[in-house]
């Protein structure tokens, strides 16, 4: 390795400047939405904007410390960092519940959320592991280890329970797909155990996105039918749960497809075609069963959120109050908005939108600045994501590239789901808006994540691989 002339000179200033702009806008929005006339000073620690300013300062300090550390440290110490975050996830399970979940470790009058920092540990270890394997010669062990790195914190987070962060961890699967780690070796091992069958490859790895689309659509259909009960006029005493109609439909489609394949395929290929259809039906029916029974096992408030989002029930002034009021606040902003500190529907004072300074902070921003302001905000996030992808693609080291893509995917999940929650396009699952939402854990974790990326990129010229 050779040492670079100046880390600051090689810093990606465009990304850093965007990060600072986002912090400033986010801080201004928290001040606006939580403003208290009796304590107007932004440094007032008794108010949320005072606490947020402290968290912002701590985040910038941590970012500076992270940037001063040699980038190779993050690769070398990725295992201890990952294990430490797992340890925190275990410890937090023995703490008292706050808002129905064991997700916080108290520090004085404040608290931190270990799940936010687990994203960093998982991103670093996944990047290190992928950088040490030859993905062109991947085997079952490679696939299992990569998935285990992701699944261990996911299981601990689910036990808290924190459904929002659990969903965010699925973003790592897209990073694995980008790097060429697929489930092909595992699927081949299962298929080739069948006597007389020998596959050299599958088409699963190269069709990840279409398969994901089918999985999502099948899951949604299963959920929509989960509470339905089918009755037949010719069988008056027979009632069939709607879930079984999904399985019956899958079976019918599989039979029709099997007949088609046996007609058009050569005789020597019919056995393989039959196997493919049977496996496809089994996997689809298995997924539908998991979704159905998994949904039935959810907590009542989690089921309510999904049912309200999918339109399976309506309760605008009850269980769907948050989402309903959030959409009303966003819509009330019009094209140019009502002006800074003029939000009426989504301010903390009116209390029409609960958690308007955390999960629903996009509402007051949209109400104050309207469509024009939100367009600029979305453009800033998109610029940040595109810039991170550009940074990822110019890295010489695999570790740096993989880590950059994990940052991009985590930010994209938070950005897309949080804004989707505010405008009715996603269920309410408690995901903060990066650099905006009130809270120290998310602010610190996103800042540390960003500065690690800036550090890795600033030293990319020192890496010879």
Over residues 305-317, the pLDDT tens digits come to 777 776 666 666 6
CB-based contacts of 259: which residues, under 8 Å, 6+ apart?
Answer: none
d(CA 97, CA 377): 35
d(CA 436, CA 438): 7
**Window from 42-56, 63-77, 105-119, 427-441 with minimum mean pLDDT:** 105-119
pLDDT given for residue 446 in this prediction: 94
Q: Mean pLDDT of all residues in the chain?
A: 81
pLDDT given for residue 101 in this prediction: 74
d(CA 265, CA 272): 10
Q: Looking at residues 144-158, what average pLDDT do you find? A: 91
Closest to 228 (Cα-Cα) out of 212, 213, 240: 240
Q: Is the pLDDT confidence value at 429 over 90?
A: no
pLDDT band at 14 (very low <50, low <70, confident <90, very high): very high
Q: Residue ranges per domain, the chain?
A: 13-197+356-462
Q: Does pTM surpass 0.85? A: no
Q: Is the pLDDT confidence value at 445 over 90?
A: yes
Cis peptide before 385 (omega within 30 of 0): no
Alpha-helix runs per DSSP H in 159-269: 163-169, 171-178, 184-191, 208-226, 242-264
CA-based R_g, the chain, Å: 25
């Amino acid at each position: 390795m050779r040492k670079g002339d100046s880390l600051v000179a090689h810093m990606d200033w465009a990304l850093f400047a965007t990060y600072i702009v986002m912090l400033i806008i986010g801080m201004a929005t928290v001040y606006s939405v939580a403003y208290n006339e009796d304590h107007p000073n932004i440094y007032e620690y008794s108010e949320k904007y005072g606490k947020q300013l402290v968290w912002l300062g701590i985040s910038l300090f941590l970012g500076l410390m992270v940037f001063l550390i040699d980038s190779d440290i993050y690769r070398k110490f990725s295992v201890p960092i990952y294990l430490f975050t797992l340890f925190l996830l275990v410890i937090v399970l023995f703490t008292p519940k706050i808002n129905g979940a064991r997700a916080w470790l108290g520090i004085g009058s404040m608290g931190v959320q270990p799940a936010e920092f687990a994203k960093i540990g998982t991103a670093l270890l996944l990047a290190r592991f992928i950088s040490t394997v030859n993905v062109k010669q991947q085997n079952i062990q490679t696939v299992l280890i990569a998935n285990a790195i992701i699944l261990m914190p996911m299981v601990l987070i689910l036990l808290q329970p924190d459904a929002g962060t659990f969903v965010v961890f699925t973003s790592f699967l897209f990073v694995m797909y980008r790097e060429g780690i697929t489930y092909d070796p595992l699927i081949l091992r299962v298929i080739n155990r069948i006597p007389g069958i020998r596959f050299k490859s599958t088409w699963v790895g190269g069709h990840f996105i279409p398969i994901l689309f089918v999985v999502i659509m099948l899951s949604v259909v299963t959920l929509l039918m989960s509470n339905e009960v089918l009755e037949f006029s010719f069988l008056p005493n027979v009632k069939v749960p709607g879930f079984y109609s999904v399985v019956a439909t899958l079976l019918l489609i599989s039979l029709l497809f099997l007949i088609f394949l046996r007609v058009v395929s050569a005789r020597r290929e019919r056995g393989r075609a039959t196997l493919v259809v049977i496996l496809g039906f089994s996997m689809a029916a298995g997924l539908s069963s998991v979704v159905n029974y998994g949904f039935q096992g959810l907590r009542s408030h989690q089921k309510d959120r999904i049912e309200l989002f999918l339109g399976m029930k309506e309760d605008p002034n009850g269980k769907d109050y948050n989402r309903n009021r959030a959409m009303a606040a966003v819509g009330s902003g019009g094209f140019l908005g009502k002006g800074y500190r003029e939000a009426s529907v989504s301010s903390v004072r009116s209390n029409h939108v609960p958690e308007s300074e955390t999960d629903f902070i996009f509402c007051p921003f949209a109400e104050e600045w309207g469509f024009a302001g939100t367009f600029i905000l979305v453009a800033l996030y998109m610029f940040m994501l595109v810039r991170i992808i550009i940074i990822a693609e110019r890295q010489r080291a695999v570790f740096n590239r993989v880590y950059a893509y994990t940052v991009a995917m985590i930010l994209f999940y938070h950005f897309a789901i949080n804004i989707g929650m505010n405008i009715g396009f996603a269920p309410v699952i408690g995901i903060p808006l990066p650099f905006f939402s009130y809270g120290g854990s998310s602010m610190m974790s996103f800042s540390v994540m960003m500065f690690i990326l800036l550090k890795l990129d600033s030293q990319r010229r020192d890496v010879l691989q």
